[in-house]
Amino acid sequence: MSKKKCTGCGIELQGENPKLNGYLPTSVLDGKSKDLLCQRCFKIKNYGEYLPVEMTKDDYREEVRRSLVGVDVALPVFDIIDFEGSFDDEILDILRETDSIIVINKLDLIPDGKHPSEVADWVKGRLGEEGISPLDVAIVSSKNGYGINGILKKVKHFYPNGAKALILGATNVGKSSIINKLTGTKKGTVSKFPGTTLKSVETEIPYTKITVIDTPGLIPEGRFSDFVCQECNQSLIPANEISRKTFKVQKDRVILMGGMVKLRILNDDELTPIFSLYASKDVMFHETNMEKAEELLQKDGFLTPPCEKCKDAFDKIEKKSKTYTVNQGEELVFKGLGWLSVKRGPLSVEVYAPKDGEIIIRDAFIKPKRK
Ligand SMILES: Nc1nc2c(ncn2[C@@H]2O[C@H](COP(=O)(O)OP(=O)(O)OP(=O)(O)O)[C@@H](O)[C@H]2O)c(=O)[nH]1
Ligand SMILES: [Mg+2]
């Protein structure tokens, strides 16, 4: 077996079996080029074509753990738009035992022009609740390059003699995109599909004494996006913008987040709550009454996601109803789907959703504007 590795996803290359991971024809594999891409990365990079791989959650976990050996600092990447959805127990455990500089990515997607320092304060508070106190927090967008040099500055500040830094995080948070920006190359394979990077890839950042290690993404539990098909899953990851809709609704009105979550307002007539819903723009928000809601949820492909293809499977998933009271200045988060921010409350709401989808209440990320 060859010892050469794919520069895109880190998998060990082989010239024997085109059906297995890491395949590359021997004519190329045995050539002189150092930057070799496996067939899968070649297809992702050149044709946007995705080839599923047979690696499990545990394989990815083991690879990340293995890569931690000899590392000076962890650079965990979180997606600001799906902050809770990018939490994974393994990541949180590593952060409790390793020095870290937190990287918050996809700043470009935040609505309402929030200042990066406000985002950093909110993140520190939220991580503090999890028992994590990082050395520092860097707020970035690998899409437009904002804050990328700040990551290097922070590493140099804490490690003036150089450092080995491990980039880790959930799938699709933008780890490889950040490394490509740091190294000024496009070597790491980036794609909209989760599970792109397969093994660790070590890269030196030119003109610094810093080495970064890219790792495969971990797959957190309890994400709503994992209850639908691959295509719907993609549509739940905000790419260019997120949508927001504000509701002022009375008792027994129902709001549907696609066909995935049903919210029924329980407040009595004394207070009409006001709240905004945030999610990827492909999630349809719909206000209706209780009867109509049932009818609409039966209709194939009307409220998406789920799409017509995965609706049957989604309908079979066990659901449950639970009541939440969310105060003004708090948010109800549906991991991997979106969030609800209360502007006038408290909001009393019955949530009907997949039983295993994680729902939490947090301090508002987007605060109501003061008048
Ligand atoms: N809007 C926006 N999209 C981003 C940003 N960074 C990455 N993306 C997109 O997020 C998706 C995932 O990016 P990757 O760099 O492959 O993510 P990863 O964390 O390496 O993913 P895995 O290797 O699968 O764990 C791609 O579609 C990127 O274009 C960002 O700052 N803003
Ligand atoms: Mg990657």
pLDDT single digits (tens) 196-217: 888 999 999 999 999 999 999 9
Q: Which atom of ligand 1 is nearest the CA belonging to 177? A: 15
Tell me what pLDDT residue 196 has: 87
Tell me what pLDDT residue 11 has: 93
Among 129, 56, 131, 115, residue whose Cα is nearest residue 80: 115
Spatial CB neighbours of 182, under 8 Å, sequence gap ≥ 6: 148, 151, 152, 205, 212
Q: Per-residue pLDDT tens for 46-76? A: 988 877 787 788 888 899 999 999 999 999 9
CA of 60 to the centre of ligand 2 (A): 12
Tell me what pLDDT residue 265 has: 97
Tell me what pLDDT residue 33 has: 84
Q: Is the pLDDT of residue 43 over 70?
A: yes
Q: Name the band, by pLDDT with cuts 50, 70 and 90, for residue 191.
A: confident
Query: How far apart (Å, rounded) are the C-alpha atoms in residues 348 and 48?
Result: 44
Output the six-digit token pair for 117: 């320092």
CB 13 within 8 A of CB 36: yes
Residue of the nearest CA to atom 11 in ligand 1? 192
Spatial CB neighbours of 208, under 8 Å, sequence gap ≥ 6: 152, 156, 162
Q: Which helix (H) or strand (E) holds 179?
A: helix 175-183
Spatial strand order of the sheet with 210-214 comes to 136-139, 101-105, 73-79, 163-169, 210-214, 201-204
Tell me what pLDDT residue 369 has: 56
pLDDT over 90 for what percent of the chain? 70
Output the six-digit token pair for 239: 């790419």
Tell me what pLDDT residue 51 has: 77
Query: How far apart (Å, rounded) are the C-alpha atoms in residues 248 and 250?
Result: 7
Query: CB count, 10 Å around CB of 370?
Result: 4
- 55-220: CATH topology is Rossmann fold (3.40.50)
Q: Which helix (H) or strand (E) holds 296?
A: helix 290-298
**Ligand that lies nearest to the alpha carbon of residue 81, given by its number in the listed order:** 1
In terms of DSSP bridges, do strands 242-248 and 274-280 run parallel, antiparallel, or are they unpaired? antiparallel
Mean pLDDT of 346-359: 97
CA of 342 to the centre of ligand 1 (A): 29
Ligand 1: which of 83, 107, 177, 199 to mutate, judged by most atoms within 8 Å of the beta carbon?
177
Q: Which atom of ligand 1 is nearest the CA belonging to 109? A: 1
Residue of the nearest CA to atom 8 in ligand 1? 174
Q: Which helix (H) or strand (E) holds 167?
A: strand 163-169
Residue of the nearest CA to atom 7 in ligand 1? 174
CA of 142 to the centre of ligand 2 (A): 13
Tell me what pLDDT residue 19 has: 87
Q: Is 158 helix (H, G, I), strand (E, B) or coil?
A: helix
Q: Which helix (H) or strand (E) holds 93?
A: helix 89-97
Q: Per-residue pLDDT tens for 273-294? A: 999 999 999 999 999 999 999 9
Mean pLDDT of 147-171: 96
Spatial strand order of the sheet with 285-288 comes to 285-288, 254-257, 261-265, 347-354, 319-326
Q: Is 331 helix (H, G, I), strand (E, B) or coil?
A: strand
pLDDT over 70 for what percent of the chain? 98
Among 237, 228, 229, residue whose Cα is nearest residue 192: 237
Residue of the nearest CA to atom 9 in ligand 1? 174
* Residue ranges of domains in the chain: 1-52, 55-220, 225-363
Residue 200 in contact with ligand 1 by CB distance below 6 A: no
Residue 257 bridge partners (DSSP): 261, 285
82-91, 149-158, 293-302 — which one is most confidently predicted on average? 149-158
Which pTM value belongs to this model? 0.90
Tell me what pLDDT residue 368 has: 56
Residue of the nearest CA to atom 14 in ligand 1? 174
Tell me what pLDDT residue 323 has: 98
Spatial CB neighbours of 368, under 8 Å, sequence gap ≥ 6: 328, 329, 341, 343
Residue of the nearest CA to atom 17 in ligand 1? 174
Q: Which atom of ligand 1 is nearest the CA belonging to 171? A: 25
Q: Is the pLDDT of residue 371 over 70?
A: no
Query: How far apart (Å, rounded) are the C-alpha atoms in residues 176 and 194?
Result: 12
Q: Which atom of ligand 1 is nearest the CA belonging to 194? A: 24
Q: Is the pLDDT of residue 234 over 90?
A: no
Q: Which atom of ligand 1 is nearest the CA belonging to 9? A: 23
Ligand 1: which of 187, 190, 197, 242 to mutate, judged by most atoms within 8 Å of the beta carbon?
190
Kindly report the average pLDDT of the chain as a whole number: 91
CA of 300 to the centre of ligand 1 (A): 31
Q: Is the pLDDT of residue 317 over 80?
A: yes
Residue 101 bridge partners (DSSP): 136
Diameter of the chain measured on Cα atoms: 76
Residue of the nearest CA to atom 30 in ligand 1? 106
Mean pLDDT of 11-17: 93
